[in-house]
Amino acid sequence: MKNKIFVSAMVFVLSLTIVCGCGGKAENDVKSDAKIIRGRMLAVENTEEKTVCLTFDDGPTPVTERVLDVLKEYGIKATFFVIGKNAERYKDILRRIFAEGHTVGIHTYSHEYKKIYASPAALADDIKRCLCVIKAVNSEYEPIFYRFPGGSFGLSEELLKVPDSMGLTSVDWNASCRDSEVRSADALSLCAFARETAGKKTKVIMLLHDAADKSTTADALPRIVNDFKEREFSFISLEKVVKIS
């Protein structure tokens, strides 16, 4: 019998320790606060099945190509939350992301915290600018996912409403390889963090980065993938675990 479980709350509070997602917040900003996944998890038919969604923030950059090579090798579809200004610079890499069947989400145009979080209108403008860049590469694509730079944690209600008002579902994460916080971590450590932060969860949304300075993440990716495969996780797209607004 199918068990459809809909977590009705708009937020899904997690009990693990994860810090901010992307650059911009202090590196020592390690919080024990619960993180929040926005977006309604989980509309899944088999709650026992172990699944992991790989999400990459801050690309596209040349590192993205290495990530794409690994994903292709393993036959995995991931989600790329792209920064508009990077997509403008690396249009061909964004084209490859589309061509290889991955999901593209919005991660603002500038990723400049002071600018985007100055007001709801400023955030909306920045998101629209990113959308324009994506549309310039693939006019038929309609992004449905958005990720707040730094995650949604601690933002005002007014800011949190912005993506919703634009028809976007914002999604945080519930596990992280911690590549943005522990900058000196080697591939082995990133893999250990991914496993540790995933803990005993059966529905994992993993935060990784494909920024230009994250080549170690690309190095770690095969190890992370194998580690989850060995524990019988299947890799699925975000669309399958996040209920769209």
Q: Which residues have a catalytic role annotated?
A: 57, 209
Tell me: does residue 57 bind Zn ion (CB under 5 A): yes
Tell me: does residue 22 bind Zn ion (CB under 5 A): yes
Q: Minimum distance from CB of 66 to Zn ion (Å)? A: 18
Tell me: does residue 179 bind Zn ion (CB under 5 A): no
Strand 203-209 and strand 51-57: the pairing is: parallel
Q: How far apart are CA 58 and CA 67, in angstroms?
A: 13
Query: Rounded to the nearest 5°, which phi and psi values hold at 176?
Result: -150, 145
Which of 203, 128, 129, 135 has the alpha carbon at shortest distance from 167? 128
Tell me: does residue 105 bind Zn ion (CB under 5 A): no
**x/- contact string, 135-164, with Zn ion (CB under 5 A)?**
--------------x---------------
Q: How far apart are CA 146 and CA 172, in angstroms?
A: 9
Q: Which of 19, 39, 51, 58 binds Zn ion (CB under 5 A)?
A: 58
Q: Specify the residue, 117 or 233, whose C-beta has the smaller distance to Zn ion.
A: 117
Interacting span for Zn ion (CB under 5 A) from 11-19, 52-60, 95-103, 222-230: 52-60
Q: Specify the residue, 82 or 221, whose C-beta has the smaller distance to Zn ion.
A: 82
Rounded to 5, what percent of the chain is helix, strand, coil?
35, 20, 45
